[in-house]
């Protein structure tokens, strides 16, 4: 059996990610490398490093979401080299967060994959709320009091 191409793995990734918003972290866990250098920086803060921390953070995120529905992925760019690939996207979904009313969310996400034993494995995911464009001044100046 041939190992999946990077594009096939992205398809699998796109099926797995929405499961977190339905309270199920298992499909995303299956995509991750188990090596000590894996990382996850999600919107709930901090950076998890190593499989044990990443797994715990995925479980935590899944407990906070309910009734998720993926609205779509906007792929900004992707790049594939021999053993490394990355994907930059905006993820759009609707879900309940901590039992609140259903809300729509947009996350900007960078995902890095590495080929391990012929298979593409997720080694880093950084997701944060998609921000509105900021002027250069607003980024360098403290807010007026």
**38 token code pair:** 């894996």
Q: Could you tell me the CATH number of the domain that includes residue 17?
A: 3.10.450.50
pTM over 0.75? The answer is: yes
Q: Answer whether residue 134 is part of any domain.
A: no
- 44-53 confidence digits (pLDDT tens): 888 999 999 9
- Report yes or no on 1 lying in a domain: no
For the chain, how many structural domains are there in total? 1
Residue 113 lies in a domain: yes
User: Is 44 within a domain?
Assistant: yes
Can you give the residue range of the structural domain that contains 86?
6-128
Nearest to 125 by CA among 24, 57, 74: 57
**Residue 60 located in a structural domain:** yes
- DSSP state string for 39-106: EEE-TTSS-EESHHHHHHHHHHHHHHEEEEEEEEEEEEEEEE-SSEEEEEEEEEEEEEETT---EEEE
Does 138 score more than 80 pLDDT?
A: no
Determine, yes or no, domain membership for 137: no
The enclosing H or E element of 128 equals strand 119-129
For 28-43, how does the pLDDT look when each residue is reduced to its tens digit (9 = 90+)?
Answer: 999 999 999 999 999 8
84: in domain: yes
Domain for residue 141, yes or no? no
Strands of the sheet containing 39-41, edge to edge, are 48-49, 39-41, 119-129, 103-116, 84-97, 65-80
pLDDT at position 119 is 93
């Amino acid at each position: 059996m041939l190992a999946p191409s990077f594009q096939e793995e992205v398809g699998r990734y796109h099926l797995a990610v929405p499961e977190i918003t339905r309270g199920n972290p298992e499909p995303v866990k299956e995509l991750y490398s188990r090596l000590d250098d894996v990382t996850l920086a999600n919107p709930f803060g901090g950076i998890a490093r190593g499989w044990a921390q990443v797994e715990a953070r995925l479980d935590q995120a899944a407990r906070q979401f309910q009734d998720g529905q993926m609205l779509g992925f906007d792929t900004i760019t992707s790049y594939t080299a021999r053993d490394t690939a990355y994907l930059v996207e905006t993820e759009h979904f609707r879900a309940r967060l901590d039992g609140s009313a259903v809300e729509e969310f947009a996350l900007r996400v960078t995902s890095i994959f590495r080929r391990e034993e012929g298979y593409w494995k997720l080694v880093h995911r950084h997701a944060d709320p998609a921000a509105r464009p900021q002027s250069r001044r607003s980024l360098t100046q403290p807010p007026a009091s």
